[in-house]
Amino acid sequence: MNITEKTDDEILAMAKPLWRDLVKSSNEGKYGEFARNFSSAMALAMNQVVAGHQFANSELARSLSEEIDPLGVIRRGEHVTVLYRQRSTKKQGEWLGRLVLGYEDGKIRIFSASIF
């Protein structure tokens, strides 16, 4: 089954624990756990040096709130993008979280993740 054929509720249910794990490992600066569910292409693109630099130099990356609001799901090709309202425990304001999911070798994997 293509992930785009799932309902929004099904996609959000799959995405929530993946996003939660990204937030937790980002806050703790644990790259191995952060990259655990990445697709092979994403893992190659986001190496430990790049992630370590991000964790060391971004207050936001180390202070993400566990409280999130899902904003919606966008379907494109063989992937879905889940959008979240993300907050920080140390910085005022709100950010847009973006999580791109799809199947790789029969498993749900993260193809992209970012906060704007």
Domain spans of the chain, in order of start: 3-115
* pLDDT at site 32: 81
pLDDT of 3-44, one tens digit each? 999 999 999 999 999 999 999 999 998 878 888 999 999 988
Specify the fold of 3-115: Nuclear Transport Factor 2; Chain: A, (3.10.450)
The DSSP H or E segment spanning 15 is helix 8-28
Count of alpha carbons within 13 angstroms of residue 104, beta-carbon side: 13
CB 99 within 8 A of CB 19: yes
Q: pTM for this structure?
A: 0.90
* pLDDT at site 33: 87
* pLDDT at site 54: 67
